[in-house]
Amino acid sequence: MAVVILFSGIVQGYLTPLLPEVGLRLDIDTVGQNNIYLLSQLAFAVMTPLLSRLGDLYGHRKVLRVALAMVAGGSLLIAVRPSPVTLAVGVVLQGALVGFFPLLVGILRSRAPERNRTGISLLVGVLLIAIGVGGLVAGALSERHAEAGLWTAVPFAVLALIAGIILPDSDAPRGGRFHYPAAALLTAGLVALVLLLAQGGTWGWGAPRTLALAVAAVAALTAWVAVERRSAHPLVSVRLLSNPRLAVVSGYTFCAAFGTIGFLGANALFLGSSRSATGYGMSLGPQAIATISLAMVTAGFAGSALTPRLARRLGDRLVLASGGALIALGFLGMVLFHDTLAQYVASALVVGLATGLFESITRTLSAEVVEERETALAVGLNELALSLGAAMGAAVIGAFFAANSSRGSALIAESGYLWGWGACACAAAVGVALALRYRSPHAAVATYSPQPTQSGELA
């Protein structure tokens, strides 16, 4: 499982630092590069619930192997024949990696439930480290030839495919049918919603096409809920959506991802800004920025590793609240102390630590608050909340940048960063409020019965 997640992290981390240079070589302008990122976001949003549900219906290992083949094929296509078309097709195929975590958790909960929490914390830690290492490896490979870095993910793809073959399948109960009309409506609604979040700031939030997208998203998702309520085999059970614990965890995930993931682009911009030209920033180069990013994900690994122990000592609710409080503290630190590199990095490391903490505890709880046969779907919905929160955070920060930049100039005023960091802190505070409403399903412990269990039940 760790090998599969390592592949996922490498794929998520290697293309971003390469795309500007590769785009120049392939005559892909800034708009084209942004569209490639947009295609990736759309693929993430669409595939998350679909792959998760297919895993619960037809077997987690079977669908995981399909997802692994899609991501490996996309990575190989990009490396072998880089072009605008293959990059676009490749990132869409790579979008299937969003199914890895829900499907792996489905196997883990079924085959080794006693290791569910420690296993998830390990996988989250590996994922965070791999994202940071992927960018560094790709950067080193592409120093002399930018397109050489595109091969970064290929050897890891081979290892992940072998791991997918070796892994056992889950023995969770299956049943039902895949609801194609519901899938079409959900896909349309999510595509419209992600486009709205990603492009609303660029088009203008009051622009006709932005408003049209908002109407389309609401209409499609409303129709989807209506269809699901009448279906004997719903794609996503409305009962699952109304699960109060899952709703709290997913809402918390949205708020936490708003800042921790939504600000990553702004983080690189601030670190790379020339203080002599802008009056702020750290004037760092790509390698130094990548090193700081690696330090942040290392802190995230530590936070993820600590999560099971903290949950045993403090309880799930306090761990959730602590993660949100650390995120808010980190961004408040950026607002107040960002004049020196040491001050800024200290705050960034707090955010990195909180990232590992929240990603581990939310994935764990989203698996535990539902029945075993709905594990992958519940974790998938939490992954979707993470993706949408990150997209919303990036959109809001981008809107603050646009509102605090000079007309006809790409120069962003320092106030744009202050507003962006403040928004991230506020979102985290909302997450803390949600965390305090969480009630653990293990709070009401069943009374002990001395009656012996039948053979096999205890195991």
Distance of CA 150 to the CA centre of its chain: 22
User: Angle at Cα 46 formed by Cα 378 and Cα 174, nearest 5°?
Assistant: 40
- Sequence-distant (6+) residues with CB within 8 A of 86 are 77, 78
Q: Which segments of the chain have a pLDDT < 70?
A: 30-31, 34, 143, 172-176, 286, 406-410, 441-459
- Residue 443 is predicted with a pLDDT of 45
Tally the C-alpha atoms within 13 A of residue 280's C-alpha that lie toward its C-beta: 16
Separation in Å, CA 312 to CA 114, 121, 173, 355, 361: 14, 13, 29, 19, 12
Q: Which residue from 38, 46, 231, 74 is spatially nearest to 153, judged by alpha carbons? A: 74
Q: Which residue from 88, 38, 130, 87 is spatially nearest to 394, judged by alpha carbons? A: 38
Contact of 268 with 289, CB cutoff 8 Å = yes
Distance CA 401, CA 389 (A): 18
Distance CA 53, CA 50 (A): 5
Distance CA 379, CA 362 (A): 9
pTM of the shown model: 0.84
- Residue 123 is predicted with a pLDDT of 94
- Residue 409 is predicted with a pLDDT of 60
Cα Rg for the chain, rounded, in angstroms? Answer: 22
End-to-end alpha carbon distance in the chain:
23
Distance CA 182, CA 66 (A): 22
Distance CA 411, CA 57 (A): 51
Which domains are seen in the chain, by residue range? 1-170 (1.20.1250.20), 181-235 (no CATH), 242-439 (1.20.1250.20)
- Lookup: tokens for 350: 């707090």
Distance CA 398, CA 420 (A): 8
Distance CA 441, CA 317 (A): 11
Contact of 44 with 387, CB cutoff 8 Å = yes
Q: Which residue from 104, 144, 141 is spatially nearest to 14, judged by alpha carbons? A: 141
- Lookup: tokens for 449: 């019965």
- Lookup: tokens for 37: 């990122």
Sign of CA dihedral 51, 52, 53, 56: positive
Residue 454 DSSP label: P
Separation in Å, CA 402 to CA 30, 411, 415: 17, 10, 11
Tally the C-alpha atoms within 13 A of residue 127's C-alpha that lie toward its C-beta: 25
- Residue 441 is predicted with a pLDDT of 66
